[in-house]
Amino acid sequence: MKCDQLKRYALKQTVSKTNFVLKNSGFTLLELFIVLMLGLVLFAGVMSVFVGLRATSAETSSYGEMQENGRFAISILTNDLLRQGFWGTLPVEMDNALLAAAPPVANNDCVGGGLNNGSFPQVIGHFRTIWGKLATGASELGCITDAKPQSDIIQVKRVIANSLGAIPQPVTVPVIAPLTMGDLKNNRYYLMSSVNSAQIFAGNAAVLPNILNSQVWEYQHHVFYVREETQGGNVVPVLMQARLVNAAQSMDIVPLVDGIENIRFWYGVDTDTDVDTNDYSDNVTPTTGAGDGVIDMFIPARSMTQALWDNNGSRILAVRMFVLVRDILPDNKYTNNNTYQLGGTTAVDQVAGGGDHYRRLLFSSTVSLQNSKVKVWN
């Protein structure tokens, strides 16, 4: 009996020691390797997801910034084009013969093609309120020294839509004008206009012009073009604006939107009364005609004739613009082999990515020139 008890006791002690050893022995080397491999697989999966999300976020941010820049540039250009040729209460096209006095002299002016294409109307030739060209070098219009070649330049003249004040007709005694020279900015030019007369004057003139039943509007002459700027180690294209100011240098040039690589304008012209194709026409010399109020073709600035710019029998009724936006910084993981067509079908209207590492977006819009549709407002 005692022998059996001793055997059972010894067996119990052996099992207890075995369990104690097993409980405190830890992982084997094989188990550790298996755990490490599983951990590495999970870590690699998480990292790949993180890297993918980061790349997607950077690409989305890039396209979002280009969308914003492109829409902003289109908005600025559209705002000027919609009001091109607007002269307040003057119901006809601006002409030197309508001015009550000679216009001021703009120093170092931006002067486009034609006989009468400075900031203010002169005696000779048709006063052009819209004009453009394809830049062929850095120096253009006598005021630009940094234009990007093979991108368009466009010139627009008008007054701001909101009148600054009116000068009413006197009844029995002279009426004191609600607008005084103190209300105007010294570095701006203004147009005072009635239904049959107008006068352009500087904001620092001694007195207001004397035109009865007239209103005063701020006079504007804008020139848009593209230049390239070096920012750090990167070259960034920028949409620029030259704006008329009353100063020793009459055109104040300021940057507007970064990333605008190229702008191209096609002018919708009504030339005759035949079947209207409303299509692009490259390298054409259209003849002028009576016109029927419908656009016959869209013509690039390089193919516009002097007669077309002067609305001699024809009229420019609309402008179709193309704005090519480029990313500010390159992405070495992206290669751009795309070709962007800025209207038309010829190579001169194409911009190729050329295998560089910049993303691009092309925007287009058509603006109807409301003030060009009629020559006299009743």
Each residue's pLDDT tens digit, 33-42: 787 888 888 8
DSSP string, 262-291: EEEEEEEEE--SS----EE--S--PPP---
Q: How confident is the model at residue 173 (pLDDT cuts 50, 70, 90)?
A: very low
Q: What percent of the chain has pLDDT over 90?
A: 56
* Range of weakest confidence among 55-69, 149-163, 258-272: 55-69
* Residue pLDDT, tens place only, 194-233: 998 999 999 999 888 888 888 999 999 999 999 999 988 8
Q: Would you say residue 78 has pLDDT above 70?
A: yes
What are the C-alpha distances in Å from 295 to residues 77, 173, 216?
A: 21, 51, 34
Q: Which of 77-81, 151-155, 219-223, 272-276 has the lowest mean pLDDT?
A: 272-276
pLDDT given at position 359: 95
Across the chain, mean pLDDT equals 85
Residue 178 pLDDT class (50, 70, 90 cuts) = low
CA 164/CA 151 separation, integer angstroms: 36
Reference 153, options 236, 284, 251; nearest CA is 251
Q: Residue 277 above 60 pLDDT?
A: no
pLDDT, position 175: 41
**d(C-alpha 60, C-alpha 57), whole Å:** 5
Element (H, E) at 56: helix 29-82
50: which 2 tokens? 């993180």
Q: Measure the CA–CA gap between 99 and 76, rounded to whole angstroms.
A: 29
Q: How many Cβ atoms are within 10 Å of 30's Cβ, its own excluded?
A: 8
Task: Please state the domain extents for the chain.
Answer: 59-372
Is the pLDDT reported for residue 274 higher than 70?
no
Distance CA 353, CA 38 (A): 44
Q: With bands split at pLDDT 50, 70 and 90, how would you rate the model's confidence at 378?
A: very low
- Which has more pLDDT, 289 or 358? 358
Confidence at residue 373, expressed as pLDDT on a 0 to 100 scale = 65
Quick one: pLDDT band at residue 30, thresholds 50, 70, 90? confident
Q: What is the end-to-end Cα distance of the chain in Å, rounded? A: 134
Percent pLDDT > 70 in the chain is: 81
DSSP designation for 114:
S
pLDDT in tens, 85-128: 999 999 888 999 999 999 998 888 999 999 999 999 999 999 99
Asked if residue 174 has pLDDT above 50, the reply is no
